[in-house]
Each structure stands twice: as structure tokens, then as C-alpha cells.
Chain A
Amino acid sequence: MMRRLVLCLVAVLPLAAAGCGDAPAAAPVAATSRPVVVEDCAGKDVTFTQVPAKVVTLDGYAAQTMARLGLTGKIVGTGYPAPFTVDASPYKEELAKIPVLGKGVLVTEVVAAQRPDLVLTGFSVFGGPPGSPKEADLATMNVKGLAACLPGGGRAMRDGAPSPALTDLEPAYDFIRKLGTVFGVQDRAQKLVNELRARQEAVAAKIQGAKPRVLMVQDNPVAGQPIKTSGSGTLAHALLTLAGGQSLFADVSSMHADVSPEQVVERDPQAIWVISDYPFAKTKGRELVDEVKRNPLLAGTTAVKQGKVFSTSQYLVSFPSPLNVDALEQLAADLHAGSS
């Protein structure tokens, strides 16, 4: 209570107007600190005078973060539920109850029909997929939007400078804290971030010895075609770095970078990390790993010779989500398993 009072004073003092008394009636939960202001991915201020009551998540990633803040009940509908498939109990069951409004990222009309007061996306921008709401559409609907920012998704590109390599899970933590602020559950958000960070540091503490060179692939390489890999600007790169590996292609940065098979042979990966479940790959999971192991293009690499090929679902590593840490633990275990 004391803390709320302080927050209230902090919020009101600069305004030197309106007392604290009138707001709590409308939104008692966090009214003491209203309005709250958070930054969107372009660095613009988004102001919330009330705690959002109806939320639409354009994709499952945003819903997963909401669920871990105890806010699943605020979600009136979601699109792109695919990330739910890799979630764990009790969240998996909880998320399954959210009405699915579309298999893909939701289009503007479908979002508008829900009359939300906040639209969330785990992708770093609005308006990427065809028909999904752009900033202008959100303005038309008079609804606020927040995205889980990734460097390179907007902010880092502003000066035309190449986005720096991503080496931490700040995008996921940042989104959690932002939602905590908006929904007035800062304490819970900070606790969640602390827990995730503790798990991340536990992984870091166990790492020892040299950093193996790891090739990330997103599909089974085909002769004569470039190999798709995850560049240094991606969360996958951050996870690999945190798990004590080094990317074979830290010199490319995009999410689906093309690299030459010749370079792969020359740089000789000591492990191959298959990021599975991308829609362009014909096979998934275990089957894809087996194909990669049998692939003649990679047969000469240390990784294949030593059988160090393992996979993670892209739903754990592509976009900011609390599940990134699950992927980190699994990756670290795979990477350092039986170092014989």
C-alpha cells in the first residue's frame, strides 16, 4: 500500500494537477500509477490510462508471455496458435482455452470484430503478413498495439547501421516487463524475469572448456543450393552464445541467411543445431535430424562424424517468449552432452 502511494505521488507530482482520488474507482488494480507510458519498438511512447481489459494476440508467442503473467483471462482471441504445441503444462492447457480466431497471423477485420483495447504480437512489427493490422489500422480501430521488439525489427535499423549481434535474452525479458507495467503486475513480471534469468545463469555457470563451433540449419541442405542458417541478429544466435557455443556463421545476421556449402565444409562445424518446424522444411524433428546426419554434403564435418546433431523447435527460439529459456537449457545439455 505504501508503495502504491509513492507511485501515485511520483506519477502525479510532475503533472502538479489531478489528485489521486478520482482514478482508483475506474481501475482499482493499478490505478495508482496511471497513466503508464511504455515505449514501442520504434521508441515512441504508448500511454495507457487504464488497465487493458480485452486483449487480442496476433500470434501465440504473445499469448505465452501473457499466460506466465497470469493474464490469460484477458485474451479474447489469438491467431497463429502453432507455438502452443511446444508449451508445457499447466500453460498448454490454459492456452488451449483461448479462442483461436485464425491459424495465421490475424487480419485487421478479425481483430476489429473483437473490439480489443490492446493488440499484442510476439513478432517484432505490426503489418508484416498480408492483411494483418498495420499501425494505421490500429489507429483506425482506436486500439493500442505492442510488439515484442527484436533488434533489427525496427529500432536497431533506424540509423541504417547494421544491427549488432544478439547475445542475450533481453527481447523476451523486455516484453515481459513491458506487459507487467501495462497491466499493473510489475512485481510478477520482475519475479518471472528474475526466475528466467536465474535459469539462464545456471546454464552459464555449468559451461566449461572451449566453445564448440556450431552450424545452425533450418532444413536439410540440398546440393547446389545455399544452406539456410540463423544469423547473428537472431534469438537463436543469442541462445547458442549463452549455451556456450559459437556460431559458425556469426558474420551473417538475418533470420534466414543463405550461406555456401563450401564455407560450411571449410569452417567445419563441431556440432549441428537443427532448428526444426520451419514451414519450408519437408520433415521435422527427429526425422529431419536423421536426414541431416545422412546428408552427403555434411558427411565430412566433425559434427556428423561424431554424431553431434540435435534439434530444437523454431517455436522455442524464433521470437521473444519465456520458452526461450527452455530452449537454452535443452541446447546447453545437447551441446555439452557426453563430450567424449
Chain B
Amino acid sequence: MTALVHKLPLRAAAVPYPALLAVLGVGLTVSVVLATGLGAVAVPSGEVAGILAHRLTGGGDSAATADLIVWRIRFPRVLLSAVAGAGLAVAGAVVQGVVRNPVADPYLLGLSHGASVGAVLVLTTGASVLGALTLPLAAFAGASAAMGIVLALASRQGRLLPVRLILVGVAFGHLFAGITSYVLALTESSAAQQQIIFWLLGGLSGASWATLPIPAAVVGAATALLLVRARRLNALVLGEEAGAALGLNASRQRWYLLLLVTLLTGTVVAVSGGIGFVGLIVPHLARMLVGADHRRMLPITVVLGALFLLWADVAARTLVSPTELPIGVLTAFLGVPCFLLVMRARGLAGQETP
């Protein structure tokens, strides 16, 4: 990852946008294959390639152990890490644009904390009304409820102002975090406590083919909708007056975009737990590479987010193998050096980014 970032900024200056996007796209594809070859159990690379080729060309079930590990356990997890990374990064980019604040991410608006409350309540009460779907649905409901409260309290006469959004979001984020800690402290079962702590730090273990379609569809659809709206997102960043001058109903756009972000964050957090930092840092990386125009930076954000979380998860799986680290630890450990490297390489430390 570090090597990749070393090269990117230098290349980005010389390489035209389509080429950059293509390079990153190829990088992502190669990374997916490489990451599938890495894990707690060593599977020869030839065998991994064989299994992937066999399966991707429509090959059927096999009883081989390597097939079970590579195709049914590792590959869905690699794909889910890419999908979750892309989703969180895009959500971060949009929130930063909507509230016109460079340190914004889904955490800032209380979304992730709301999802935690939902999940933690399910984990401690042991409620399982809806079977395996209970936890993801509760997390999604938590995120939606949090966004609902924040939107309701931040809007005034139908207008949605960035500063109010941030203030209300931060305040409620703390309230939700407080509720989570309270529930955690009251929980008597140490098993539930362990699950809660792991959930708060995020993690992608438990990924299977069954958990993949919904997040993949939501991230895909939301990204497509956002690309269509990228121009309006650009206008939104300019501010209330400039936006109005361009014929933009800023408050309505914010409502629309935030609902989309809720859907995005809620779905991703529901399967991956609270993975921080991706939504904050990846959009900035993308802006440093291609500038702040959302039409150009959103696709880059998607690919970079996917790449970033994919390799963070590989590190989480392999660094202390055969045990595993919570992925939240890795996103911070990998993210900060990455970010500083690019910032220095591009000499943008002093420049304003939205």
C-alpha cells in the first residue's frame, strides 16, 4: 500500500485522469486477487488462481478444503472489504461536501454512533426476532433514527444549515456514544461485552456470500446516483449564496444527499461494524490526486476506499496470524502514514480543501 501511494502522486501529475482511473481500477482488480491469496492458512498461489478461474467461469462446487477457504470464506470477505471501503469513503466525501467541512465523516453526524446503539441493544438483550438479520437491521435502524433526529433538530423552517448540522450531529454523536458505554457497563455477560467491543472497532469476519449482495447493490446504486448529482454537489460546496445564484435549492439538496448517505452508511456499518477513518481520509486522498471536482473525485474515492479497506483487512487478518486484529486499529495505523505521505508529496498541506 505504501509503495502504491509513493508512486501515485507523482504519476497523477503526469497521467491524465482516465489513465489514472484505469490504473487504480486495474490495481483494485489485482489487489482483490492478491488479497484472496493471503490469509491465516497458506494456499499455494497457483491453487488460488485455479479456484478463482474455475469459479468465475461458472465452475461448480468442489469438496476441496482449499475451495472452501478461498471461495467461500476468503473471497467474499475480500469483496465485502472492498465494497465497505468504497461505501464508507463515498459517504465521507458526500458528508464533507454537504456540511462544507474537511473533518466531517459519517461519525461527525452521529450516524455511526446511532448504528452502534442499535447493534449494542440487540447484542445485550439477545433479541433475535428476525434471526441472523436482526443485528444488521438494528444497526441500520439505529443509523436511520440518529439521522432522523439530527435532521429534525438541525432544520429550521425547512432549511438545513451546515453549521447546525455539525453541532447537532456532534452533540448527538456524544449522546449515542454515552448510551453505548452505559449499556456496555451494565452488561453482565462478558461474552456480549466482547462482541460489543469488537463490533465498535469494526470487523469483517463472518462475511459470506449471503452478506454481500445487499451492501454491494446499495453502494453501487448510491454511487451511481451521486455521480449523476455530482454537479449539484459541486455547487453546494460553494456555499448558500453562490448555490442560490446557480439556481440550487441548497437545503433540499442537503436533505436528499444526507438520506442517501444514511442508506449508504447504515447498510455498510450493519455488516462491518464501526470502521472509522476511511470516510474521513480517503476523500482527501482523492481530492489531492484529482482536485475537488466531485465528478472527478467521486470515482477515485470509490476505488481508493475499496483499495484502502481491502489492504487494511488483509493486514488485520495476517499481521498477528493466526489470530486477528480489529480492523479499526489497522485503518488508523495505515491511514495516517498514507495520508501524510500524499499530503507531503503533493505539497498541499497549506491548501484549503472543502
A associates with B: yes
Check A26 for interface membership: any CB of B closer than 8 A.
Answer: no
- Given A127-B195, A128-B191, the answer on whether A110 and B208 have CB atoms closer than 8 Å is no
Asked whether any CB of chain B lies closer than 8 Å to the CB of A286, the reply is no
Pairwise interchain contact B208-A131, C-beta atoms closer than 8 A: no
Q: By the criterion CB–CB under 8 Å, are A115 and B68 in contact?
A: yes
Are A130 and B322 in contact (CB-based, < 8 A)?
A: no
B205 cross-chain contacts in A, Cβ below 8 A: 107-108, 127, 130-134, 137
Asked whether, in the complex, the Cβ of A131 is within 8 Å of the Cβ of B190, the reply is no
Least distance between B76 CB and chain A CB atoms (Å): 8
User: What per-residue 1/0 map shows which CB atoms of B180-222 lie under 8 Å from chain A?
Assistant: 0000000111111111001000010110101100000000000
**Chain A 121-150 interface 0/1 with B at a Cβ cutoff of 8 Å (1 = within):** 001110111111111110111000000001
How near does chain B come to A57, taking the closest CB pair, in angstroms?
A: 15
Distance (whole angstroms) from the CB of B96 to the closest CB of chain A: 30
Q: Given A131-B205, A134-B206, are A253 and B188 neighbors across the interface (CB < 8 Å)? A: yes
Structural contact, B206 and A137, CB atoms closer than 8 A? yes
Q: Is there a chain A Cβ closer than 8 Å to B132's Cβ?
A: yes
Is B194 a contact of A160 with CB atoms below 8 Å?
no
Given A141-B68, A160-B125: A131 and B194 interface contact (C-beta under 8 Å): no
Residues of A within 8 A of B65 (CB): 112-113, 115
Which A residues are CB-close (under 8 A) to B39?
109
Instruction: Please indicate the chain B residues that have their CB under 8 angstroms from the CB of A103 in the complex.
Output: 323
B4 to chain A, nearest CB (A): 25
Count of chain A to chain B residue pairs whose CB atoms are closer than 8 Å in the complex: 134
> Which residue of the partner chain, among A110, A127, A129, A154, contacts B189 with CB atoms under 8 Å?
A154
Closest to A233 in B: B188
A123 to B189, CA, bound (A): 11
Q: Given that A109-B69, A157-B124 are contacting pairs, would A123 and B323 also be in contact in the complex, using a CB cutoff of 8 Å?
A: no
Partner of A137, one of B126, B208, B316, B317: B208
Set B73, B192, B195: member contacting A108, Cβ < 8 A: B73
**CB pair A255 B206 closer than 8 Å:** no
Let me know if B92 is at the binding interface, CB within 8 A: no
Known: A107-B205, A134-B205. A112 touches B191 (CB 8 A): no
Q: Are A131 and B73 in contact (CB under 8 A)?
A: no
Contacts of B128 in A (CB 8 A): 42
Complexed CA–CA distance, A131 and B65 (Å): 19
Given A105-B323, A254-B189, is A136 in contact with B211 using a C-beta cutoff of 8 Å? yes
**Inter-chain contact B324/A153, CB cutoff 8 Å:** no
B 53-76 binary contact with A (CB < 8 Å = 1; else 0): 000000000000100110011100
Cα distance A198–B39 in the bound complex, in angstroms: 47
Contacts of A128 in B (CB 8 A): 191, 194-195, 198
**A106 vs B324: C-alpha distance when bound (angstroms):** 9
Verify B195–A109 contact, CB threshold 8 A.
no
**Residue from B125, B188, B193, B194 in contact with A163 in the complex, judged by beta carbons closer than 8 Å:** B188
- Structural contact, A231 and B203, CB atoms closer than 8 A: no
Query: A221 at the A/B interface (Cβ < 8 Å)?
Result: no
Which chain A positions have C-beta within 8 A of B127?
A: 158, 160
Q: Which residue of chain B has the shortest Cβ distance to A124 in the bound complex?
A: B191
Is B323 a contact partner of A157 (Cβ separation < 8 A)? no
Q: Report the bound CA distance from A133 to B324 in whole Å.
A: 11
Q: Determine which residue in B74, B126, B316 has the highest number of CB atoms from chain A within 10 A of its CB, and name it.
A: B126
Q: How far is the CA of A160 from the CA of B205 in the complex (A)?
A: 27
| Closest chain B residue to A106, Cβ basis | B322
Whether A107 pairs with B40 at a CB distance below 8 angstroms is yes
The answer for the CA separation of A139 and B74 in the assembled complex, in Å, is 15
* A52 CB–B CB distance under 8 Å: no
Would you call B326 an interface residue if the criterion is a C-beta within 8 Å of the partner chain's C-beta atoms? yes
Chain A residues within an 8 Å CB radius of B343: none
- Is residue A119 within 8 Å, beta carbon to beta carbon, of the partner chain? no
B325 beta carbon closer than 8 Å to chain A: yes
**Interface flags, A180-214, vs B, CB<8A=1, else 0:** 00000000000000000000000000000000000
12 A-B pairs in the complex with CB atoms less than 8 angstroms apart: A108-B73, A109-B41, A112-B41, A113-B69, A128-B194, A130-B205, A131-B203, A137-B205, A152-B188, A154-B189, A157-B189, A255-B190
- Which A residues have a C-beta under 8 Å from some C-beta of B? 42, 79, 101-110, 112-113, 115, 123-125, 127-137, 139-141, 150, 152-154, 156-158, 160, 162-163, 231, 233, 253-256
